[in-house]
Amino acid sequence: MPATIAPHNQELLLLSQERARHLLQSDPVLSKSVTIPALVSEILGKSKVAIDFVTHACRVYAERPALGYRQPGERHFRTVSYGEVWEQASGLASGWSHSGLVSTEHAVGILGFASPEFVIAELACLYLGAVAVPLQAHMPASDFEYIINEAEISCMVVSWEHLPSILRVLPRCPSVKSLVLIDLATSDHHASDVVRIQKELTDSGSSVRLATINDVIALGASEGVIRPYRPSPDTDPTVTVMYTSGSTGRPKGAVFHERLWAAYWHSSTRLDQGANLPLVYLSFSPLNHIAGRISVLRSFVNGGLIHFTQKSDMSTLFDDFRVARPTTFFLVPRVSTLIYQEFQREVMLLRAEASNLTDVSDIENQVMETMRYNFLGDRLLSVTTGSAPTAPVILDFLKNTFLVPVFNTYGSTEGGIISVDNRLLRPAVEDYKLADVPELDYRTTDKPYPRGELHVKLRHHVRYYLKNAAASAELFDQDGYLRTGDIVEEHGPDELHWIDRKKNILKLSQGEFVSLWRLESIYTGGNGLIDQIFLYGTGMRSYLLAVVVPNSEALAKLDIASSDDVAIKRAVQSEINHIAKIESLFPYEIPRDVIIERSRFTKDEGLVTESGKQIAGKLKARYADELERLYDLHDNQQLLELAKLRAASQDLDLGVKILRAVAATLGLPEHDLDQTHSFASIGGDSMSAVQLSSTLESLCAIKVPVGLILNPHQSIANLIKHLDNMTQTESPDRPGAFNAVHGSTPTEVLAKDLSIERYFTRDELDAGHLAPLTDLPPDPAVLLTGANGFLGRFLALEMALKAHKSRPIYCVVRAPHDAAAKDRFIDSFEGADDSLRNKVTKLVESRRLIPIAGDLMQPKLGWSEDQWQSLTTEVDIVLHNGALVNHAFTYEQLYEPNVLGTAEIVRFAVAKKRKPLTFVSSVGVASYLPRHTVVTEDETASRLFSGVPLLDTYAAGYGTTKWAAEILLEQAASKFNLPVTTVRCGMILSHTKESGQINSNDFFSRLLCGLVYTKLAPASFYTHNSNSEAHFDGLPVNFVAESIASFALKPSAGYSLYHCVNDHQDRVSLDQIVQWVRSAGYDITMIADFDNWYRRFSDRLQQLPSHKRQQSPLPIIYQWEHPINANDEIRFAGANMRSKRAQLGLDETVPHITETFIHKCLRDLHNLELIPGT
């Protein structure tokens, strides 16, 4: 037996050999899948290049079953023989060649779950000499685009299930010329659907050709099978590119060349070689993952049969085990844990039923015996684990329960299998060494075993990542050893035990390092109660928090109701403490509090990879805000009050619930609450509003919009009254309500869902279509929304100065009544000099500017029917600038004011008469485009995307609402023949002339304040290879307001789009702006190392007095965690904007950011007493 087989596995392998002899006597079908060493030797001896292994395996094993699959509803697996695999793979390659869809060296993307047709497509690529690029099935659309464009994929082989994902990104992937559909036999589709999709592609102007895999195979057969491509001995072409999951950033494409891939085929002999066991696999590993692919290679070389699980969500997995009856399979840790937890649950159940005298070990043995010959089928002979470290307790459980050898493999995409059962795999590994990791206190001098990061020198390995020089350079050390990123203990020569990852390490505020991955493995391996756990912490905190998905069956067996949050949390926290005690964890490694999540982390939500690994970055994006709020609760001792409130909720009336919820959220005594004040006026901010909204929903079963809570003129008493009315009134949902448009738990926003018909009644649609187009007078009456915002107030001034002076400009301000609206509008010019304030006051007193109360979140803006009728009749032009701007909010939280509010403005614009409508949008609508893209002014929202994923990242929610509003307005322009002008704005900066007029809360002002406060700046904000291309896009507010107001007063027919951006390539970057801050007289120290600057910058911001912290960049500090790659920034072309300005007689020159302007910005901040003078 090979030396790599550990002694305990050698003993179990002997048992498996004996069992196999009995199985073959009772189940002769298994003889078709037995490994015959002579045939394996023949294949290995005759194969020189990768395609040879396929050629000879399919010839030698032609009559054997090769691939198995189940159709929906079937209780057996169908199989495809090796001969049929060769026929189909050669036919597909030939069909590609004859049709011109794919040629040698073309890149072919393959997207779908593991299936026979996925394998056939992969083999066809090898046959043709094309480059196979398997894609992870569940990724954000931006990652699909990134990979397709980087790899220059010309043909996408895609399953019916995942076709929508590709269709959504196809318009932005110009390299793709064809789509080939696979897995149609196991999907719910009709031939007419394929015809329909091809027609839709053609009608949209796309030249992409659509075909099914059977169509292409049939073409290959009819036109003649071509000869397989065999590279010449002196070449080493690329065979496949495998992309990482992207858990730490953009996916990286590991490039596999011919010689490396041939070596993988050659080394894919069985780990139990010599035992000659039958080889029947059940595969549930995705084929974009190295583990899934090696299983296929190993099966082919040994003449085995590999079945693929029926459903991609693995909901049929354990039924598949019983139907396929595999002799072996590859287990990822997530599935190993599922099996172990099933064992623990059964033990728990039997213990509850047994007498106190029953020995626990007897119960455990009973459950093991029951599971041994039926839970994973009745023919199991061996198991292989890998993909990520499996907890030792689970490895022991698998061996003891199923009495088969469990080969524990360790490796990586870049290096293949490196060790088996903690022994290095020789001769594949030529040498190895350990490198100290002092920041984690791992050193080669450690006792009793040396510890450090494993570096290996391999006979064959990936040499680089596709088009990623930086990541490629990090792959190897200075001696050419592959850096694995794994911390190991060296127990003896070639005996290495994995203990940790170098990355996924967090330094807490007190200086202690914690390995989140290691701790997560410990907690999930400890007991069946904890199904999944995500640990979270920051460098600003001294302890961890966690998100825990408890196992519902375990809760039921503990007699804990699924609705009993307190009991669930208590049980989970108790179990965490119990595990920590057993494992001797330090106090800072124990999460102090947990969030209970009832929905599992799934690949569909993008929270785990295809192989079941948790994606830390995506989980952080999902839960970070909630966890940060939990930290705040601890800081203010609010957690106890919230728990008490929830426990007593059923016995309290609505008003008391709301009062106590507000008090608990803000950490205030209930008796100190003044109900006449608003939530904001008593200390509420955007994040606490989100928390209160969530609390009220759970307590009162009412979805309370965050905007309603934050309304500065909504008193607590009025909020209670409003919510009470909501619970008492049985009126139908407002047209266009979030759930009616997007469903209850959407993961993306689709353009087709934003149909104008969902926001208007049939009568409104008909009336709007028939309404006459207003005949614009020389002195139009204007309705302006968002009039008291930073841009809005200057739009009001521009409109007043540009239009004739006899008609009013109605300035909509969110306020309880018109008098308050007037005050808010005038107060928005706070900080202005007397001249500007006097000008505004006179315009208001003369009723040239008429501030009126209005709320975009209310039907008809909250106006009476008389006011609505009056204004829709009088107004000639609509300028919609209003929106709730909060970059921390999600799409759902911003939907009512920003999307539904836009629908109300369209309703206003088509009531009585059709009024030209101008909409102020944002360049954030394009944030999901591939980086280094140039967006032009003919790329409307519908051309940019057919759908946008719902993410919790900074500003994603706001940008998505602007995209959705643009979609609505495109439809309004078409449906009602309404003139619509959309102006996308970039960063809007200070006024060039008016003193003190700067948006003090925006990104740029906060950065300027932070630089002045800390006196620190990096030597460059940009990566070293991109700073020469860096440019900061910002325009003075007066230029933006002049452009938009002018466009609104002179509208064009149809739908028009302009980019009001600074599109100069003048190298005025943040680095240049820092120098101008210094030239203004502010002392700024330049820090050469960016990471060092970020750490010191963050520390100094934390130490600021509270009023300065609030004005500093601290709330958005993570934006500067890494240097900016200017080469990756999306740029916007503004040619149409300049042409329109010239057409209207305005100066078409777009202003540059200058040293004088930056000095003026600093003076404005000083005038507002936000920074000191020089």
**pLDDT for position 700:** 77
Residue 440 reports pLDDT greater than 70 = no
Q: Quick one: which H or E segment has residue 403?
A: none
- Shared-domain flag, residues 473 and 546: no
Sheet architecture: strand order including 877-880: 849-853, 809-813, 782-784, 877-880, 917-922, 980-985, 1055-1060
pTM score over 0.95: no
For 761, residues 6+ apart whose C-beta sits below 8 A from its C-beta are: 735
Termini Cα distance of the chain:
80
Closest CA relative to residue 873, chosen from 745, 987, 988, 774: 774
Buried b (16+ CB within 10 A) or exposed e, 457-490: bbebbbebbbebeebbeebbeeeebbbbebbbbb
Q: pLDDT above 90 covers what percent of the chain?
A: 46
- CA dist 1047 and 1059 (Å) reads 12
CATH number of the domain encompassing residue 754: 3.40.50.720
In a domain, 993, yes or no: no
- Shared-domain flag, residues 719 and 777: no
825 and 813 Cβ atoms separated by less than 8 Å: yes
**pLDDT tens for residues 275-304?**
678 999 999 888 988 888 989 999 999 999
- CA dist 443 and 1168 (Å) reads 54
Per the structure, the count of domains in the chain is 6
State both tokens at 782.
């204007």
740 and 703 Cβ atoms separated by less than 8 Å: no
- Shared-domain flag, residues 272 and 252: no
In this prediction, residues 474-483 reach a mean pLDDT of 93
Q: Report the range of poorest mean pLDDT among 176-180, 796-800, 1001-1005.
A: 1001-1005
Residue with tokens 């199991």: 380
- CA dist 985 and 982 (Å) reads 10
What is the secondary structure of 473-500 as a DSSP string? Answer: HHTB-TTSPEEEEEEEEEEETTEEEEEE
In this prediction, residues 915-931 reach a mean pLDDT of 87
What are the φ and ψ backbone dihedral angles of 67, each rounded to 5 degrees?
A: -130, 140
What are the φ and ψ backbone dihedral angles of 353, each rounded to 5 degrees?
A: -90, -20
**pLDDT for position 931:** 58
- Shared-domain flag, residues 708 and 755: no
- CA dist 125 and 147 (Å) reads 18
Cis peptide before 735 (omega within 30 of 0): no
In a domain, 849, yes or no: yes
CATH number of the domain encompassing residue 20: 3.40.50.980
Number of continuous H segments (helices) and E segments (strands) in the chain: 42, 40
**pLDDT for position 843:** 92
State both tokens at 463.
């040499």
- Shared-domain flag, residues 478 and 402: no
- Shared-domain flag, residues 590 and 460: no
**pLDDT for position 606:** 83
DSSP 896: I
User: Of 682, 711, 728, which marks where a domain is finished?
Assistant: 728
Q: Report the range of poorest mean pLDDT among 140-154, 460-474, 628-642.
A: 628-642
**pLDDT tens for residues 714-749?**
678 877 876 775 565 444 456 888 888 988 667 788
pLDDT top residue among 22 and 664:
22
- Shared-domain flag, residues 252 and 321: no
**pLDDT for position 732:** 44
- CA dist 263 and 458 (Å) reads 12
- Shared-domain flag, residues 664 and 788: no
State both tokens at 429.
């590994």
**pLDDT for position 998:** 92
In a domain, 1124, yes or no: no
Residue 31 reports pLDDT greater than 80 = yes
In a domain, 1172, yes or no: no
Residue 128 reports pLDDT greater than 90 = yes
Single-letter code of the amino acid located at 798: E
- Shared-domain flag, residues 595 and 643: no
Closest CA relative to residue 246, chosen from 159, 135, 165, 333: 135
Residue 448 reports pLDDT greater than 50 = yes
Residue 859 reports pLDDT greater than 70 = yes
Tell whether the torsion through CA atoms of 348, 349, 352 and 353 is positive or negative: negative
User: Average model confidence (pLDDT) for the chain?
Assistant: 86
Single-letter code of the amino acid located at 771: A
629 and 687 Cβ atoms separated by less than 8 Å: yes
**pLDDT tens for residues 173-191?**
999 999 999 988 755 556 6
In this prediction, residues 367-377 reach a mean pLDDT of 90
Instruction: Give CA separation, 779 vs 228, 259, 329, 425, 878, in Å.
Output: 76, 77, 78, 84, 14
Closest CA relative to residue 239, chosen from 90, 462, 430: 462
- CA dist 661 and 651 (Å) reads 14
CATH number of the domain encompassing residue 103: 3.40.50.12780
- CA dist 1075 and 1069 (Å) reads 10
- Shared-domain flag, residues 920 and 955: yes
Instruction: Name the β-bridge partners of 454.
Output: 434
Domain that holds residue 660: 639-728
For 918, residues 6+ apart whose C-beta sits below 8 A from its C-beta are: 877, 878, 879, 880, 980, 981, 982, 983, 1044, 1047, 1048, 1051
Residue 510 banded pLDDT, cuts 50, 70, 90: very low
CATH number of the domain encompassing residue 695: 1.10.1200.10
In a domain, 1165, yes or no: no
- Shared-domain flag, residues 810 and 932: yes
In a domain, 865, yes or no: yes
User: Of 362, 387, 419, which marks where a domain is finished?
Assistant: 419
State both tokens at 1056.
């028009």
- Shared-domain flag, residues 579 and 654: no
User: Of 600, 635, 670, which marks where a domain is finished?
Assistant: 635
**pLDDT for position 691:** 67
In a domain, 1127, yes or no: no
756 and 971 Cβ atoms separated by less than 8 Å: yes
In a domain, 204, yes or no: yes
**Coil, strand, or helix at residue 920?**
strand
**Coil, strand, or helix at residue 588?**
helix
**Tally of CB atoms within 10 A around 932:** 15
